[in-house]
A = this chain, B = another copy of it.
């Protein structure tokens, strides 16, 4: 675990990551919305739907896909619906559920946005890295995601225990 202060090497890595994270995210989002009128969040939802059979997905499935809090998803889908990107339908199997489907406008919007997004990601990230760096990034995120997942399942286990009292 290490004592509190960071080593120079750690400090450099953290500081670099922190700065990159903030600026890169805002650059990508800014560019996408300027060019296509779709936010980063919109794009995430729409491309999840685009990749689903029939361009429709259950709310829950969508939530797993994008890993958002349920209320965020609900609010956002509401707004997207009023913008005509998506429609909400009743769910047959579970009548409290909801199914969301891409409208034609939504489909057109994502498709138009995809090229832009890919180009931006290349320009500001992928094209700047060597193959080794790409792999390093993959490994790093793998490690971090594994840790976060562990934490998550631990949470669930604790909840399980509490339930069992």
Contacts and interface: CB of A to CB of B under 8 A. Distances in A.
A125 to B, nearest CB: 6
A144 to B, nearest CB: 5
Given A17-B125, A125-B14, A145-B23, A6 B118 contact: yes
A77 to B, nearest CB: 18
A148 B24 contact: yes
A19 interface: yes
Interface in A132-146: 132-145
Contacts of A156: none
B138 A16 contact: yes
Interface of A: 1-2, 4-6, 9-10, 12-14, 16-17, 19-25, 27, 67, 115, 118-119, 121-129, 131-145, 147-148, 151
